[in-house]
Amino acid sequence: MSNILIRPPWFVPEREATPERVYLGRREFLKALGIAGAGLVGTSRTGLAAADAVTAGRVPSGPSDAQRHYPAQRNPKFNPGWKLTDEEVVSQYNNFYEFSLVKNRVHQMVGKFVINPWKIEITGLVEKPLVIDMDELLQEMPLEERVYRFRCVEAWSMVVPWTGFPLSKLIEKSKPLSDAKFVRFETFNKPDQAPGMKGSNYPFPYFEGLRMDEAMHPLTLVATGIYGKPMPKQQGAPVRLIVPWKYGYKSIKSIVKLEFVAGQPKTFWEVLAPNEYPFESNVNPAVPHPRWLQSTERVIDTGDRIRTLPFNGYGDQVAKLYGKA
Ligand SMILES: Nc1nc2c(c(=O)[nH]1)N[C@H]1C(S)=C(S)[C@@H](COP(=O)(O)O)O[C@H]1N2
Ligand SMILES: [Mo]
């Protein structure tokens, strides 16, 4: 109930009440009824198709109730006026090995993935071990939208508006002990829902890690949405990490666990190829991957080749973490 009181003023009531597409579908449907009521011949094909999709349950939905948190207000500090990458391209070009190794197939393989209910465990060297329900987290955390550059180690990139909150907020809540120097993150382990996990030789569940100062950095985001909507399953629903100055694999998807540890944890890709995907993995155009250059990147919707920037363009904010201020 308190959610009604904390409802921010920028929400448009219709968008809050129902998912956008359901809302538009209903409006179209009512229009169609209006036409029928007036005795005109024919039906609105759009209207009826949309209404059918609603009743058949084909309209995508996030965790129960999640929809009303979107869109969140864009933080003007992270609204640099860059051209956003095309939303449809972004949602159909994914690395999520739990589902498929083929980027343009991932979005077709997520149908069985259950994202509600969803819990995140916070454990290890903390004063207050916690299990947090996703719905509670959305309620509690101050959601905002931030436009970030995103750079995969495979030399493709995009610019997208994430919705989320600083990871530091979640860390503060769990009160790590002073000997906690790193955070280890883990993804779900559900081979029955994620076809790529079944019989795979990869060391699933996917795991990643950050130094404590990296995790606490104000740019490090826990993302629950993108393009003003709840996170699509193929992009790491219901909750993922975004570390914009590091290669994409550090931005672990569909997180179920955070563990505070004293020593540097191993990471999924580091275990597979330590010389290609080291723990730190800051974007660096001057250091080629052993098998390709990192000096440029391909923008995934336009195909443009652009120069890769040190720390993916976030050097002013993060270089000091690495003694390079
Ligand atoms: N659990 C999990 N998280 C993951 C991956 C993965 O395979 N599994 N792939 C990573 C890689 S290599 C990249 S580039 C990004 C891709 O995110 P996107 O599909 O939203 O662009 O997710 C990262 N997070
Ligand atoms: Mo990646």
Residue 41 clears pLDDT 50, i.e. is over it: no
DSSP 8-state assignment for residue 305: E
Q: What is the mean predicted confidence (pLDDT) over 251-258?
A: 99
13: pLDDT confidence band, cut at 50, 70 and 90? Answer: very low
Note the pLDDT tens digit of each residue in 184-208. Answer: 999 999 999 999 999 999 999 999 9
Could you tell me the distance, in angstroms and rounded to a whole number, from the CA of residue 151 to the centre of ligand 2?
Answer: 7
Counting from 1 in the atom list of ligand 1, the atom nearest the Cα of 206 is 1
* CB-ligand 1 contact for 233 (6 Å cutoff): no
**Torsion, CA 76, CA 78, CA 83, CA 85, rounded to 10:** -130
Helix pair angle (45-55, 20-37), 10° resolution: 130
- Hey, which CATH number is domain 20-322, 2.30.110.10, 3.30.1300.10, 1.10.10.10, 3.90.420.10? 3.90.420.10
* CB-ligand 1 contact for 152 (6 Å cutoff): yes
Counting from 1 in the atom list of ligand 1, the atom nearest the Cα of 235 is 20
Q: Which ligand is nearest to the CA of 251?
A: 1
27 or 221: which carries more pLDDT confidence?
221
Note the pLDDT tens digit of each residue in 78-90. Answer: 989 999 999 999 9
Q: How many CB atoms lie within 10 A of CB 282?
A: 22
66: pLDDT confidence band, cut at 50, 70 and 90? Answer: confident
307 or 10: which carries more pLDDT confidence?
307
59: pLDDT confidence band, cut at 50, 70 and 90? Answer: very low
* CB-ligand 1 contact for 249 (6 Å cutoff): yes
Note the pLDDT of residue 12: 32
DSSP 8-state assignment for residue 12: -
Q: What is the mean predicted confidence (pLDDT) over 63-90?
A: 91
* CB-ligand 1 contact for 134 (6 Å cutoff): no
- Best mutation site among 251, 257, 268, 272 for ligand 1 pocket (most ligand atoms within 8 Å of CB): 251
Counting from 1 in the atom list of ligand 1, the atom nearest the Cα of 205 is 1
DSSP string for 269-280: HHHH-TTTS-SS
325: pLDDT confidence band, cut at 50, 70 and 90? Answer: low
Q: Residue with the nearest Cα to atom 11 of ligand 1? A: 249
* CB-ligand 1 contact for 248 (6 Å cutoff): yes
Which token pair is 152? 């995969």
101 or 13: which carries more pLDDT confidence?
101
Counting from 1 in the atom list of ligand 1, the atom nearest the Cα of 93 is 19
Contact of 301 with 85, CB cutoff 8 Å: yes
Q: Residue with the nearest Cα to atom 21 of ligand 1? A: 94
Residue 125 clears pLDDT 60, i.e. is over it: yes
* CB-ligand 1 contact for 206 (6 Å cutoff): yes
Q: How far is 101 from 254, CA to CA, in rounded Å?
A: 17
Q: Residue with the nearest Cα to atom 24 of ligand 1? A: 252
Total count of residues recorded for the chain: 325
Contact of 255 with 268, CB cutoff 8 Å: no
Residue 48 clears pLDDT 80, i.e. is over it: no
Note the pLDDT of residue 64: 54
Could you tell me the distance, in angstroms and rounded to a whole number, from the CA of residue 283 to the centre of ligand 1?
Answer: 15
SS3 133: strand
Mean pLDDT of the chain: 85
29: pLDDT confidence band, cut at 50, 70 and 90? Answer: very low
- Best mutation site among 96, 158, 299 for ligand 1 pocket (most ligand atoms within 8 Å of CB): 96
Q: Which ligand is nearest to the CA of 252?
A: 1
Could you tell me the distance, in angstroms and rounded to a whole number, from the CA of residue 33 to the centre of ligand 1?
Answer: 44
Q: How far is 162 from 203, CA to CA, in rounded Å?
A: 28
Note the pLDDT of residue 49: 38
Q: What is the mean predicted confidence (pLDDT) over 93-112?
A: 98
Q: Residue with the nearest Cα to atom 15 of ligand 1? A: 248
Could you tell me the distance, in angstroms and rounded to a whole number, from the CA of residue 97 to the centre of ligand 1?
Answer: 8
